[in-house]
Chains A and B, each alone.
Chain A
Amino acid sequence: GAVVSQHPSRVICKSGTSVKIECRSLDFQATTMFWYRQFPKKSLMLMATSNEGSKATYEQGVEKDKFLINHASLTLSTLTVTSAHPEDSSFYICSAKPPGGYEKLFFGSGTQLSVL
């Protein structure tokens, strides 16, 4: 089946640094990718919808300058958490939509970000 690779799986960083998370669709072209944030034992909160070649559509309350999303190719989307702070610590997970319908979304394995 289709595979979405997300890296890194875990990152620990100091407050004030920036962290980049990559999401790659390995065997299909993903015109649309979604970025979610999940707090412990909570649901996935949609942060933004990333469309290849255009600006991401951010959900209300998500800071665009804080969470930079780039979808430069049909197989790669990146989320950069800029000037990370402890409150940004969370599980971030991406998903990718293959061409065609929405019968399946494929998810990456997630990134656990811990900001000290």
Chain B
Amino acid sequence: AQKITQTQPGMFVQEKEAVTLDCTYDTSDQSYGLFWYKQPSSGEMIFLIYQGSYDEQNATEGRYSLNFQKARKSANLVISASQLGDSAMYFCAMREGLPGGYQKVTFGIGTKLQVIP
């Protein structure tokens, strides 16, 4: 079963506008975490933001904010004031526990964001 679902294969946004990238997740764990990463064409994975399942406040990091709706199991990324350099693939990921106390992090299929001048 898909653990992380990103339904937008591609998105366009005008420079300086805000954009929301969708992510829904599925887990039976009570304690889990959600990440967003950016992957430019160079291939590196750049950490953007993290939200723990017990965090009451939505996470924010500069122009990035995570709209965490626990009951709906969604963790959408909001990028404000888009810049040309924001054009990249964006991956939503989830940390959850395994038997034996191990943890694992799985990724969604990604959303390709293109910022238009």
The answer to whether A and B belong to the same complex is: yes
Closest to A32 in B: B103
Q: How many residues of B contact A (CB 8 A)?
A: 21
* Contact pattern, A 92-116, Cβ under 8 Å of B = 1, otherwise 0: 0101010001111111011010000
Interface contact A110-B47, CB-CB below 8 Å: no
Q: Is the CB of B45 within 8 A of A104?
A: no
Q: Are B110 and A43 in touch, CB under 8 angstroms?
A: yes
How many Å lie between the Cα of A49 and that of B106 in the bound state?
A: 11
Contacts of A67 in B (CB 8 A): none
Total residues of chain A contacting the partner, CB 8 A: 25
Do B103 and A46 touch (CB < 8 A)?
no
B residues adjacent to A (C-beta < 8 A):
33, 35, 37, 43-45, 47, 50, 52, 91, 95, 98, 102-110
Report which A residues bind B (CB closer than 8 A). 32, 34, 36, 42-46, 49, 51, 57, 91, 93, 95, 97, 101-107, 109-110, 112
